[in-house]
Amino acid sequence: MAKGIIKNTWDRSVKITVIWLICVLTFYCFFQMALRNSSSHENANSHRPTISGRSSISHAEQRSVLYSKMAKDLEENGAVFIKQGETSQSISLSDLFTLKDETVTPILKSADPPVRANVLYLSTQYSVPISKAVKDVFLPYFDKAIWFQNSSLYHFSMFHASHHIAPVPATETEIEAEANAVKAVAESTCPLHIVLDRVVLTSTGVLLGCWQVVSGSDPVTIRAKLKAALPRAPQKQLYNEAMLHTSLARLLGPPNKLPEEESKISELQIFHDLVNRLNNQIRGLKATVSELWYVEEYDLLALAVNGNMKIRKFKLGCSEA
């Protein structure tokens, strides 16, 4: 009987020991798996760029793709402006300018309600040399069949509180509230340090300077802030959210002064050559943008055609430290 008791006690001890060892081994295995998963997660995070880094790279790449597409527009669609086509804002060139006796005159058409545009301003410190280069390259070929953007009004369109395609009427009180909201956006926005990526000529005859951001607030961020600050604005805006461009000139017809050696070259090739020549002069130019404007345009495209407008200027106030 004593032997039976001893045997039963031994069996129970062995079973308890086996169960205990199984539990210990199971816990150890799960513990090691957890450690490995944690280590892998940390390693993955250590090699993953920050959200802001990804966004910055993404926005720059988005602009590069967009600018490359714009550069192909003339080749793919031809010089539509020679036939008096439309602008990028769906307005006919013949509605904007008259060309009589070799003199270009803008047609001022009242905007009702006024267009309310938010634009970044490019200082004359940078715009005047750019304008001079544009005139030096293009004027000998186009004489009067070209409209040069006023160098004191070089700007980057950001966001419209109202535009001619989707007008949003506003009272004076609402306009003041919008202006104050834009001022608040400016105060939270850092100056942009930018570089001229390239100049392109579109099929509608607009000569554009296309820029990249080196540092400072990105156009995507600025447009998002303006959208939040101006909830009544049209949902459909006029430009790609990443785009940073300024109009330099508008061609209104074919080249009318050609040197003899270029008289047999196609018009399309002449356009390409002129753009390449201008790029060789000003591509890579650096600038700093430090003002956001809230503009009431009483005439259609007033900023482009020297029309009637009211400008409120706000300094970009974010600290870059």
In angstroms, how far is CA 172 from the centroid of its own chain? Answer: 30
Angle in degrees, CA 137, 199, 315, rounded to 5: 110
Burial 94-130 (b: 16+ CB within 10 A, else e): eebbebeeeebebebbebeebbbbbbbbbeeebbeeb
Sheet of 146-148, strands arranged across: 146-148, 245-251, 206-215, 192-201, 286-289
Q: Classify 205 as helix, strand or coil.
A: coil
Both tokens of 101, joined, read 């006796």
CA distances from 110 to 98, 99, 144 (A): 16, 20, 25
- As a whole number of angstroms, the distance between CA 61 and CA 199 comes to 17
Over its length of 321 residues, how does the chain's per-residue pLDDT go in tens digits? Answer: 444 444 444 455 545 554 545 544 554 444 444 434 433 333 333 333 333 344 445 899 999 999 999 999 999 999 888 876 555 555 777 778 887 776 788 999 999 999 999 999 999 999 999 999 999 999 999 877 899 999 999 999 999 999 999 999 999 999 999 999 999 999 999 999 999 999 999 999 999 999 999 999 999 999 999 999 999 999 999 999 999 999 999 998 888 877 766 767 888 999 999 999 999 999 999 999 999 999 999 999 999 999 999 999 999 998 665
Task: Please name the residues in contact with 62: beta carbons below 8 A apart, sequence gap of 6 or more.
Answer: 240, 242
Amino acid found at 141: Y
Q: According to the model, what pLDDT value does residue 254 have?
A: 87
pLDDT of residue 159: 98
pLDDT of residue 85: 53
- Residue 157 and residue 178 in contact, taking contact as beta carbons nearer than 8 Å: no
Please give the sequence-ordered ranges of beta strands (E in DSSP) within the chain, or none if there are none: 97-100, 103-106, 110-121, 146-148, 155-162, 192-201, 206-215, 245-251, 286-289, 291-299, 309-315
Q: Residues 267, 79: contact at Cβ < 8 Å?
A: yes
Beta bridge partners of 296: 116, 310
CA distances from 192 to 123, 138, 217 (A): 12, 29, 6
CA distance 190 to 206: 29
Kindly calculate the radius of gyration of the chain based on its CA atoms and give it in whole angstroms: 31
Please, what are the domains in the chain?
A: 57-315 (3.90.1140.10)
Contact, 227 vs 155, CB < 8 A? no
The answer to whether residues 154 and 259 touch, using CB atoms and an 8 Å cutoff, is no
**pLDDT number for residue 87:** 55
Phi then psi for 233, rounded to 5 degrees? -65, 155
Q: Characterise 90 by phi-psi region: left (phi > 0), alpha (psi -120 to 50), beta (else).
A: left
